[in-house]
Chain A
Amino acid sequence: MPGFTHLHAVSGFSLRYGASHPERLAERASERSMDALALTDRDTLAGTVRFAKACAKAGVRPLFGVELAVEEPAPEPVRQERRRAPVRGGAFIDESTPRVTFLARDGARGWADLCRMVTAAHAGEGSPLLPWADNRGDGLTVLLGPASDVGRALAAGRPDRAARLLAPWRETYGDALRLEAVWHGRKGTGPGSLRLAARTVGFAAEQRIRPVLSNAVRYADPGLGPVADVLDAARRLVPVDATKELDSGEAWLKDAGTMLGAAERIVEAAGFRRDTAHRLLEQTQATAAECLVDPEDDLGIGTVHFPEPHLVGAGRRTAQRALASRAAAGMVLKGYTRSPEAVLYWERMHRELDIIAHHGFASYFLTVAQVVDDVREMGIRVAARGSGAGSLVNHLLGIAHADPVEHGLLMERFLSKRRLVLPDIDIDVESARRLEVYRAIIGRFGTERVATVAMPETYRVRHAIRDVGAALSMDPADIDRIAKSFPHIRARDARAALEELPELKALAGEKNRYGRLWELVEALDALPRGVAMHPCGVLLSDASLLSRTPVMPTSGEGFPMSQFDKEDVEDLGLLKLDVLGVRMQSAMAHAVVEVERATGDRIDLDAVPPGDPATYQLIRSTETLGCFQIESPGQRDLVGRLQPATFHDLVVDISLFRPGPVAADMVRPFIEARHGRAPIRYPHPDLEEPLRDTYGVVVFHEQIIDIVDIMTGCGRDEADRVRRGLSDPESQGRIRFWFAQHAAANGYDAETIRRTWEIVEAFGSYGFCKAHAVAFAVPTYQSAWLKAHHPAAFYAGLLTHDPGMYPKRLLLADARRRGVPILPLDVNRSAVAHRIELVSESVDSSRRWGLRLALSDVHGISEAEAARIADGRPYASLLDFWERARPSRPLAQRLAQVGALDAFGANRRDLQLHLTELHRGARGAGGGQLPLAGGRKTAPAGLPDLSSAERLSAELGVLSMDASRNLMDDHRAFLDELGVLSARRLREVRHGETVLVAGAKAATQTPPIRSGKRVIFTTLDDGTGLVDLAFFDDSHDACAHTVFHSWLLLVRGVVQRRGPRSLSVVGAAAWNLAELVELRAEGGLDEVAKRLAEPVPEGAGDSTGGRRIQMPTGYELHPWADLRPAGQEPSQVRKLWHQSPGSAG
């Protein structure tokens, strides 16, 4: 029996069409003893690299192809029935374009043709469509199947028309044309029917074109038909209709025997003898055998292409020489030639240049330097991050800010002669101007060399529930509720989560009501459902980029985007530069601009004095909200214990706060030693040098490299290779032996070797790259400096660019606590962005600055509207404002609600009435008479003004911030009745006391922690400060649901103290405070007591039965830790707990 090759198979990368991952297809092909398999995804080649790798693993030869919608050569004038525009629900998705399968046949040429055609198909507007003009390619084989124009003519019983349509195809592709017969056991003559398959084979014989057999594979295994139905429904945006034609369930990766059976039926139906079936299969096999594309040679896996040297300022010189001269110039410019250690710098520079020359990476460095120069020229803040900061050449070229020699950073961690992977330099730019940077890069190198990187969005549980629910006609309200109650977990864990997660208990009870929902949700797991631009990767290559990668425009900005994702790009040897948009950089830039605008002082953040006492005092006080990297609850706790006093302390602090070091408990010994409570120990006096700065505790990768180098004398580049090997348990054994042998040869005794190895083994894979930490610590220090010296401008920057993990209202509360006056929104004073404003000037000319809220924070304001309002200032009256700023009516109403129009007189509701009438007047309905009193002030209309609670509610609704006062202030009396401690008074409470705390939830996390348990950390803000809470798993049954799904919380817990500044509350019980407040208002304290007396569900403890995920680094992870938790993000909350019918908005 001849073998069989599926020439037409799609994976999940065919968005909302294919139901199996490419890996699964490759595995199944191998299991069903097939030698080769083609991947022909719809409109995309994105799955290619994963497929090629999976095929290599499974021992199957991969064929590459794509299925494209093709424009008809001469579109016939079809009688277009104009359909009425639907009043609701939108029009049907049009999928009527014929689709054709293209296979790359002729090596690199075929692959380049595929790339070109996919790029061309995506170039137009709307859904991808290959223009007929681009429909050519010498290296391609074309399959015309049931979905092609020829196939459709055959299905319609029009062989004459099919023959006519075939002519242009035959003209273009000649002998490379095949007719594809598919039998899915359907009735009638449509696609997948036996009669169409037979007609296709018969027509092929008649036209003397070779037929092939395929199964138009959509999924790897039988039984996945319902999943395909759900995908169809999600793609067409309609529910699954059981009374219509559903997926046949036959489009799976059938084995050769079954396909032979199908071939026999088809040829018999076509009127040939049964044994002709072998000929059909042979033709298929022959077609497969012709398609020869080698993943390594033809796709370019493993080769590197840099932009041509003349584009990166090398002129006619070689890149290496240009690099050397630029580095030397940097030496002079930065003044290292005059420093006493000049020799050291020169030596290091030459050594690094040698390594770069060894790999031939000079163009790469020049490229990055060119990009950084361009960015800097545009006045955008830019900083290098990552291990690239360890290279002196990078520093000399101006890519990295920190001096690697001074901070003891090693080049070997970044690049060495023994390191074969591509070096990786990441640059941080201001997030608000990231796209400008992209445009500059594209402008510099041209679209034929630059492309952004794709990022497939895959199905996780929430989206899977939404799509499956909609396909199954579930109630939208139910779908929304179910989706929101899940944490952001993988779709395939849906049922396990229902069983195990305490916050899903209620949902688990009604689980059986939803039929097949759960099964289908799990089946969608990790299938791509869309594709977005990766937020930071940019591909840089020589001019051959477009023949190696398919490119499509991004939605919105229209940047060229490669269809490959981050990992694929690395495998393909495409050079990627990570340009990360960092909001903190934008925030700091805004703060600097504001200070200059208001005071005329120009701050150079890169030159702020190091070691500023006020800055370190601020950091030590742990009031670091908004400071880069040190604002999370865990970091505030660590900073409190560590008490940093120098830049190096910050570097250490950032390095320690990583899952690795926290898991390995490097934090405690370090802090003990630092505060002199424990002696500093070194395994050997030789190791004092690298370990001195960190009190004998290994924190950095660089230290491991040094230790291994010192003990074995192997050189740092080899030591770095050893360090990498440490994370792999297999190679660890070999390294241990090697280490002992070499260290002994260097004269170290067995005891020293044993102790050193313990350290290396324990910390080696956990440590943090010091170059990373130094690069992080620079903006950390800069932001803390701004917070200490220019608080108002700092908050203005933060609120404008919204960095960090906390909702804006918390930053506002922090500003209020630190004595920065919050000035309300006012159309005559507020600008588009947050600004600072002089509040008072005292005799000794110390000036007090306030923070003026921004128009851009008003809900639903467009950029144009905000700019128009800001440009038109000042306004004399409401009418003036209305006529010149031309706000939309809802916007004007919102502005009135939050008091931005208070200056025009009358109360806020009266203003709203006037606005409505102005709106009516503007529409030409007459009523132009405006009741103005004295021309300026608006006359009162006698409506009741907003009450204080309504104002607060309006502020939250419109600005998402409680601008006038903290929202918890309103409940102070009730909280006092309950005996709740404020955050400020909590600081005086002793360890172990039971307290009640309350506040608005600011952040909730379930991070991975050392004990392998799931702990819910949450932060409450009560107006006087922050309370950090931890809920351990014995309290989850009682608390988890409340904590995740309420915004205002009342919590009973026990105070935990670990240091003078370290304080947290371990929660035991939690209630929804909003509910209690309402009970108090309606039924008095007795009702509240009744609610509190309700029994709390007993904690069953760990519901996973001890299941843990073993991390490759060795520590255990709770299966449900490290997820974005259930419920709504606190920053999304726009509503007060309750809205009375009279509340504004």
Chain B
Amino acid sequence: MTILCVRFQLPTVYEAALPGLLGLLEEFTPVVEALPPDGALADLRGAERYFGRGAVELASVIRVRALALHGVDCMIGAGPGPMLARMALRDARPGVTCMVPDDAVADFLADRPVAALPGVGKATARTLCEYGLDTLGRVAAAPLSTLQRLVGTRAGRELHEKASGVDRGRVVPNAVSRSLATERPFSRDELDEDRHRRALLSAAEELGARLRAVDKVCGTLTLTVRYADRSATTRSRTLKEPTAHSAALTRAAYDMYEALGLQRARVRSIALRAEGLDPAEQASHQLTFDPADEKLRRIEEVADRARAKFGPYAVMPGALAA
């Protein structure tokens, strides 16, 4: 059993190209899981026998096709499970596929830092390093009970298994892009509330337009404010109803921003991320007797069409035009 982890080298914010590339992978195997914004997992279980080629050879074929058809280069890691394939990807370069053989899993993992393990975030890695468990070999050697005391019962067990090379993950076909993000950087430390709001408005408008373009609605909106000292504040809000309506997104973004109460913080960028994307046709919408909402949505629809025809700047909110 071999899993491939593919990362396409897409130009930034070009998620729209991903579905096409996933289609390319689906020519080899039906079991493809999208890893937005630019990656995918593919299970080659049947493909190897069907095509009569090894995983590394298939990887080369995939790369050639991606370049020929889409003009997009890619890096590929291969391993016996999704986790190992992802880890192998870190060592891969375009043209050099990194493969973890079934029998060398322990050696492959032993000297790797704990942070390299998928699912081990900064906090867990810091905790483990504090206790001298800085490599996966050491984590595997530590008693299970101690690991569970360190990071919790369930996480401890999973960590122990993963570090020992037991990869229980499966490739789950989904073919859905799960989040969209956009960022508005400032050229200098920006304290002005109006300009912050303008950035939020423009980001929310963009996210809405992009969501509507791929017929998706988002359930959660995340605001990230980055400061001059490279730190950041992140706030998330689950929307009352999943939506792609720009006005609703903007409202949610403003609410989160106001809750921060920023005064003297030196803001260098504001980023919005739409998460929990679902197909638009599955979304429910609470109807109201207020005609304003209905009107707004229809105006938005018209504006979208105008933008499609005359470019993204053809129609925009007045606050952004100045």
Contacts and interface: CB of A to CB of B under 8 A. Distances in A.
Interface stretch (B59-67, B86-94, B162-170, B187-195): B187-195
Interface stretch (B35-43, B138-146, B208-216, B277-285): B138-146
B51 to A, nearest CB: 41
Interface in B247-299: 258-266
Contact of A473 (B131, B149, B266): B266
Interface in A891-943: 893, 909, 912-913, 917, 941-943
Interface string A1089-1129: 00000000000000000000000000000000000000000
A473 B228 CA distance: 8
A89 B149 contact: no
- Contact residues of A: prevailing secondary structure: loop
Q: Which of A93, A238, A244, A945 has the most CB of B within 10 A?
A: A238
Given A239-B189, A913-B150, A1142-B129, A943 B266 contact: no
A946 to B, nearest CB: 7
Interface string B38-53: 0000000000000000
A607 interface: no
Interface in B128-185: 129-135, 138, 142-143, 145-146, 149-150
Interface stretch (A80-88, A247-255, A663-671): A80-88
Interface centre among B131, B138, B188 (most CB of A within 10 A): B131
A469 B260 CA distance: 26
B233 A87 contact: yes
Residue in A237, A239, A917 with the greatest tally of chain B CB atoms within 10 Å: A239
B263 A1142 contact: no
Contacts of A950: 132
Chain A interface residue bracket vs B:
35 or more
A87 B264 contact: no
Interface string A82-110: 01111111111100000000000000000
Given A86-B260, A86-B264, A237-B264, A473 B188 contact: yes
Contacts of B145: 941
A685 interface: no
Nearest to B231: A88
A89 B266 contact: yes
B19 interface: no
A939 to B, nearest CB: 11
A944 interface: yes
Interface string A1133-1145: 0000000111010
Contact of A1142 (B132, B143, B231): B132
Contacts of B149: 913, 917, 941
A89 B263 contact: yes
Contact of B266 (A239, A893, A909, A1140): A239
B157 to A, nearest CB: 16
A919 to B, nearest CB: 13
Given A476-B228, A944-B132, A913 B146 contact: yes
B229 interface: yes
A88 B131 contact: no
A895 B245 CA distance: 56
A693 interface: no
Interface in A605-652: none
Given A239-B189, A239-B266, A473-B228, A943 B260 contact: no
A806 B192 CA distance: 48
A475 interface: yes
A1140 B130 CA distance: 11
Nearest to A1140: B134
Contact of A1144 (B130, B227, B231, B233): B130
Contacts of A472: 188
A81 to B, nearest CB: 12
In this complex, which of A239, A917, A942, A1142 has the most chain B Cβ atoms within 10 angstroms of its Cβ? A1142
A477 interface: yes
B261 A84 contact: yes
A237 B227 CA distance: 15
A86 B130 CA distance: 32
B20 to A, nearest CB: 39
Contacts of A883: none
Contacts of A477: 229-230
Given A88-B260, A912-B130, A241 B146 contact: no
A243 B194 CA distance: 12
Contacts of B188: 239, 472-473
A944 B138 contact: yes
Contacts, number: 102
Contacts of B150: 913
A88 B146 contact: no
B134 A1142 contact: yes
A886 B126 CA distance: 25
Contacts of B264: 86, 89-93, 237-238
A1134 B142 CA distance: 30
A86 B261 contact: yes
A913 B131 contact: yes
A473 B268 CA distance: 9
A244 B194 CA distance: 12
A89 B228 CA distance: 10
Contacts of B265: 86-90
Contacts of B229: 476-477
B131 to A, nearest CB: 5
Contacts of A941: 143, 145-146, 149
Interface string A476-490: 110000000000000
B131 A1141 contact: no
A942 B131 CA distance: 11
Interface in A240-290: 241, 243-244
A477 B228 CA distance: 9
A944 B133 contact: yes
Contacts of B266: 89, 239, 473
Contact of B133 (A476, A917, A943): A943
Contacts of B131: 909, 912-913, 943
Contacts of B132: 909, 943-946, 950, 1142, 1144
B260 A87 contact: yes
A475 B146 contact: no
B146 A1141 contact: no
B117 to A, nearest CB: 13
> Which of B132, B150, B261 has the largest count of A CB atoms less than 10 A from its CB?
B132
Interface in A953-981: none
B138 A86 contact: no
B262 A87 contact: yes
Nearest to A236: B264
Nearest to B146: A941
A86 B262 contact: yes
Contact of A84 (B113, B227, B259): B259
Contacts of A893: 130
B4 to A, nearest CB: 29
Interface in A451-478: 472-473, 475-477
A896 to B, nearest CB: 11
B74 to A, nearest CB: 30
A91 B260 CA distance: 12
A485 B264 CA distance: 28
A108 B233 CA distance: 57
A239 B191 contact: yes
A85 B261 contact: yes
Given A942-B142, A943-B142, 13 more contacts: A83-B263, A84-B258, A86-B260, A88-B225, A89-B262, A89-B264, A237-B264, A238-B264, A473-B228, A473-B266, A943-B146, A944-B138, A1144-B130
A-B CB proximity, top 7 nearest: A89-B265, A84-B261, A1142-B134, A473-B188, A473-B189, A942-B143, A239-B189
25 contacts: A83-B263, A84-B261, A86-B260, A86-B263, A86-B265, A87-B260, A88-B260, A89-B263, A89-B264, A91-B264, A92-B264, A238-B191, A239-B188, A239-B189, A243-B192, A244-B192, A473-B189, A476-B230, A893-B130, A941-B146, A942-B142, A942-B143, A943-B131, A1141-B134, A1142-B133
